[in-house]
Amino acid sequence: MGILDGRKGLILGVANKRSVAWACARALQREGMELALTFANDRLEGNVRELAGELGVKTVLPCDVTRDADMDALVDSVGTAFGQLDCIVHAVAFAKREELTGNYIDTSKEGYQLAQEVSVFSLPAVSRRMVPLMEGREGSIVTLTYIGSERVIPNYNVMGVAKAALEASVRYLAHDLGPRGIRVNAISAGPIRTLSAAGIEGFATILDTIAARAPLRRNITAEEVGDTCAFLAGPHSRGITGSTIYVDAGYHIMGL
Ligand code: NAP
């Protein structure tokens, strides 16, 4: 018996085996949740289908979150496949590589808008569409954030500003959806080597800093994020909403 037996979940953001979304998928499935995965574009489809096959996941759907038509079709497909939905894991973010180096002051308007659209607006946009499937089922929405939202991490720039907006969105969505029985939380993960992380200049230095300074004196694993995601998706976190939970080996408490 898993803590998520009989529940249905939608996971956005699997690109490959290193993706945080993939670790979340494995943890939720281990606890008994039936899953649907999305892929962002044709380039990723084969990879995501192959990974889905490893977990026996049959529902694999396209969703580029910059396309309204994709999100509209997604809710129809999830409704057809599951009839209802208990959980959304939103592990999607994007900024142009040139915005993740140098100074924030040089951020382009287009780069700012793109980061906000993909990394922030997609959360309310997908949630609003899925609410009719989630109402009255003790649903849970989980997104992924990073401490660059509240402290300056050199080069994180436009994505730090996007993550600040994402965390504020979590609070407003929690307020909107609480009366409808749906909780909304964020996991603030420590740095993990993934495709997206590779685009941040100086990422190796960030990893070394955490290993040296975090209370646990190590970096975290994607599996640790997945386990926290399973907790937030399930009944043991039923009193928690609107929160940012840190899975960062304790780094966020440090002043120096
Ligand atoms: P990842 O494997 O590259 O996952 C990011 C996903 O977002 C990819 O599947 C990517 O697809 C997708 N995406 C980008 N643009 C999209 C769009 N328009 N529509 C739909 N999907 C789109 O990297 P990750 O590190 O696991 O990132 C997952 C989440 O964790 C992100 O929110 C990230 O900010 C957060 N996070 C990561 C870390 C870390 O250190 N890795 C730490 C804290 C928080 P493409 O590959 O096609 O772009």
pLDDT at residue number 201: 87
Q: Which of 107, 249, 245, 236 is nearest to 186 (CA)?
A: 245
Structure tokens at 37: 């995965």
pLDDT at residue number 199: 86
250: left (phi over 0), alpha (psi -120 to 50) or beta: left
Q: Is 236 helix (H, G, I), strand (E, B) or coil?
A: helix
Among 17, 51, 66, 92, the mutation site with the greatest number of ligand 1 atoms within 8 A of its Cβ is 92
Ligand 1 atom nearest the C-alpha of 90 is: 32
Ligand 1 atom nearest the C-alpha of 14 is: 9
Find the 144 Cα to ligand 1 centroid distance in Å. Answer: 9
Find the 98 Cα to ligand 1 centroid distance in Å. Answer: 17
Q: Whose CA is nearest to atom 23 of ligand 1?
A: 196
**Sheet with 34-39, side-by-side order of all strands:** 59-62, 34-39, 8-12, 87-90, 139-145, 182-189, 244-247
pLDDT at residue number 200: 87
| Main-chain phi, psi angles of 239, to 5 degrees | -95, 5
Is residue 250 within 8 A of residue 210, CB to CB? The reply is no
Q: Specify the residue for token string 């599996």.
A: 223
Structure tokens at 42: 């044709």
Structure tokens at 136: 């009255």
Query: Distance (Å, rounded) from C-alpha 71 to C-alpha 204?
Result: 35
DSSP E strand stretches across 99-239: 139-145, 182-189
Task: Give Cα 199 distance to the centre of its chain.
Answer: 17
Q: Whose CA is nearest to atom 21 of ligand 1?
A: 40
Q: Whose CA is nearest to atom 38 of ligand 1?
A: 191
Pocket of ligand 1 (CB under 6 A): 13-15, 19-21, 40-41, 44, 63-66, 91-94, 118, 144-146, 189, 191-192, 194-197
Q: Residue 80 to residues 5, 19, 215: CA-CA distances in angstroms?
A: 20, 27, 46
Query: Distance (Å, rounded) from C-alpha 34 to C-alpha 39?
Result: 17
Structure tokens at 14: 């699997």
pLDDT at residue number 224: 98
Query: Distance (Å, rounded) from C-alpha 139 to C-alpha 251?
Result: 30
Is residue 94 within 8 A of residue 17, CB to CB? The reply is no
Ligand 1 atom nearest the C-alpha of 192 is: 40
Among 196, 207, 245, the mutation site with the greatest number of ligand 1 atoms within 8 A of its Cβ is 196
The tens place of each residue's pLDDT in the chain, 256 residues long, gives 899 999 999 999 999 999 999 999 999 999 999 999 999 999 999 999 999 999 999 999 999 999 999 999 999 999 999 999 999 999 999 999 999 999 999 999 999 999 999 999 999 999 999 999 999 899 999 999 999 999 999 999 999 999 999 999 999 999 999 999 999 999 999 999 999 998 888 999 999 999 999 999 999 999 999 999 999 999 999 999 999 999 999 999 999 9
Please report the domains of the chain, with CATH numbers, ordered by start residue. 8-249 (3.40.50.720)
Q: What is the pTM of this model?
A: 0.98
Find the 38 Cα to ligand 1 centroid distance in Å. Answer: 12
The active-site residue, picked from 156, 172, 246, 251, is 156
Amino acid at 86: D
Cβ neighbour number for residue 181 with a 10 Å cutoff: 12
Structure tokens at 59: 């529902």
Query: Distance (Å, rounded) from C-alpha 66 to C-alpha 137?
Result: 28
146 is catalytic: yes
Structure tokens at 121: 């607006």
pLDDT at residue number 1: 82
Burial category of 179 from C-beta neighbours within 10 Å (exposed 0-12, middle 13-18, buried 19 and up): exposed
